[in-house]
Amino acid sequence: MGLVGETTINFDIAIKNSVEKIIVDTVVFLPRLLAAILIFVAGWIIASVLSWIVEKILLYIGLEKFLKRHKLEDSLGKVKLSNVFVKLSKYYVMLIFLQAAVSILNLGTITEFISAVLLYTPVFIGALLVVVAAAVLGELLKEKIREIEPKSKTLAWLADATKVIVVFLAIIMGLGTMGFDTVIIASSFIAILQGLVYGIALAFGLAFGLGGQDDAKDIIKIVRKKTNL
């Protein structure tokens, strides 16, 4: 048998072995794939049920009514606070089942990546909750400042600025919790904030000193009336 014949036989054997390996791998992989799909579907169902339960609980305790009663329904803009909790609970459970499904498939790097994401998720959720709480607190402070004198544009601006500052500080805290270096951002923000405070104080001082005494007295009277001082 010549060299060409031996090469042809070896080539045929290689093809046969490859085809057999593909068939064996497919037969082994299909049950894993089916199990992974079933686990993910089960996770989706459980996550949907859990999010439905969370939604009903929040509806039962009247979270949105409480926020509306205290004028805090716009804390997150057009996003409802209850929807945040519902979505977080749903996607976190789905992520857990997704990690289990991928582990069965044994996809190597993808499995490790999802496992790392799953371990990091509680930290992210904690940081997000800090920002959400700050948004609610900032909205509360904004409303309280506006209640002092609803027609005052200055107080309206101060109220909006207060909420922005509170939320921004919470974002810095959240990023720090997630492991980001926020020293430069925090230092820059504090420096800018100090400059704004000094500038505003100086502007008010000059305005009142140059003829705004009556306005100053009116504002003080309003603050004392609203705060019972």
Q: What are the tens digits of pLDDT across the range 168-197?
A: 888 888 888 777 777 777 677 677 666 666
**Range with the lowest mean pLDDT among 20-34, 81-95, 152-166, 174-188?**
20-34
Please report the pLDDT score of residue 167 as a whole number. 86
Which residues, including other chains, have CB under 8 Å from residue 101's CB and lie 6 or more apart? 35, 36, 37, 39, 40, 43
Question: Which of 108, 130, 112 lies closest to 120, judged by CA?
Answer: 112
- pLDDT surpasses 70 at 205: no
CATH architecture of 124-229: Orthogonal Bundle (1.10)
**Range with the lowest mean pLDDT among 80-84, 163-167, 192-196?**
192-196
Per-residue confidence band for 44, with pLDDT thresholds at 50, 70 and 90: very high
Say how far apart CA 42 and CA 34 lie, in whole Å: 12
**Position of tokens 């140059």?**
210
Per domain, the residue ranges of the chain are: 1-106, 124-229
Is residue 95 classed exposed, middle or buried when 0-12, 13-18 and 19+ CB atoms within 10 A define those classes? middle
**Range with the lowest mean pLDDT among 47-51, 67-71, 182-186, 225-229?**
225-229
Q: Are 136 and 81 in contact (CB under 8 A)?
A: yes
Q: Which residues of 124-155 are buried (b: 16+ CB within 10 A; e: fewer)?
A: eeebbebbbebbbbbbbebbebbebbeebeeb
Q: What average pLDDT score do residues 71-83 get?
A: 82
Q: What average pLDDT score do residues 69-94 get?
A: 85
Please report the pLDDT score of residue 102 as a whole number. 79
Q: For residue 62, what is the enclosing H or E element? A: none
| Coil vs helix vs strand at 184 | helix
Question: Which of 161, 154, 156 lies closest to 196, judged by CA?
Answer: 161
Say how far apart CA 89 and CA 70 lie, in whole Å: 26
Say how far apart CA 23 and CA 29 lie, in whole Å: 10
Say how far apart CA 30 and CA 100 lie, in whole Å: 16
- pLDDT surpasses 70 at 202: no
Say how far apart CA 142 and CA 74 lie, in whole Å: 11
Please report the pLDDT score of residue 222 as a whole number. 58
Does 227 or 56 have the greater pLDDT score? 56
Which residues, including other chains, have CB under 8 Å from residue 193's CB and lie 6 or more apart? 165
**Range with the lowest mean pLDDT among 36-40, 168-172, 202-206?**
202-206
| Coil vs helix vs strand at 72 | coil
Does 159 or 54 have the greater pLDDT score? 54
